[in-house]
Amino acid sequence: MAEVVDVFSQSVESSSSDSHGDKLDSDEEDDDDDIEAQIRREVEGLKPSASKSRPFHAIRMDLPCLLFVRFDKSINPEEMVHQLCLDAAANPEKKRSRWIQRMTPAISVRKTLSVDLESFAREILKPHFHSGGPPKKYAIRPVVRSNKKFNRDIVIKTVADVVGPEHPVDLKNYDLIILVTVIQNVIGMSVAGSDYDRLKKYNLAELYSPAATSEAAESTKD
């Protein structure tokens, strides 16, 4: 639990540092007074405040080896998890985690007892499939655990109907892959890109494994 929150927090800090560095470069011609004022503002921003909310909140599920992490609304879980896996694939020797295995982002989570799966899927999938552009090959990967309302067949059929026949199904050479996770009484959904399987299904442990290091070295030679 502590490790996953730490890894996510480091990613946020790294992104903030990059943005801060760009800002300093663009303001390098300011005079000393402006720089001092900027430093004072930065120091004030670092002070603890009761009004500040934590960007991540870990929740232990009543299932072995499973952890749920709630993200602040300002952070996109799809983008963060994807970037973490890209970094791990590019630098498998720079291992940042010991205990984390697969990370499954969910852009939104609902209660299974009250959710309308069709409406929920339409909301999540609209930016990817129903906002213009050419047809996209897609696949659906459902995971259902400890839930009696939904099963794989129901999830796949409902989500496929929402995507529509204009987008072809391709389980191996997809452009987008729809991840649907049903755990106990919650359901989450997100969309990943064509590199999902290459990134070991977002499994950090596999990306940091010796085999992954060898693959990265071979890729560099090619």
pLDDT tens-digit series, residues 104-156:
999 999 999 999 999 999 999 999 999 999 999 999 999 999 999 999 999 99
Which residues share a beta bridge with 169? 138
Residue partners of 206: CB distance under 8 A and separation at least 6:
101, 200, 212
Tokens 């209660």 belong to which residue?
111
Low-confidence ranges of the chain (pLDDT < 70): 15-53, 210-222
Q: What is the pLDDT of residue 154?
A: 96
**Taking the chain, what is the end-to-end CA distance rounded to the nearest angstrom?**
38
For residue 100, which of 149, 52, 67, 58 has the smallest C-alpha distance? Answer: 67
Q: What is the pLDDT of residue 178?
A: 98
pLDDT tens-digit series, residues 138-147:
999 999 999 9
Residue 96: Cβ-neighbour burial (10 angstroms; 0-12, 13-18, 19+): middle
Task: Please give the Cα distance from 11 to 77 (Å, whole number).
Answer: 11
Q: What is the pLDDT of residue 23?
A: 42
CA of 181: how far to CAs of 44, 143, 185, 196, in Å?
40, 5, 11, 15
Q: What is the pLDDT of residue 209?
A: 82
Q: What is the pLDDT of residue 58?
A: 86
Structural domains present in the chain: 54-206 (3.30.2300.10)
For residue 104, which of 203, 21, 206 has the smallest C-alpha distance? Answer: 203
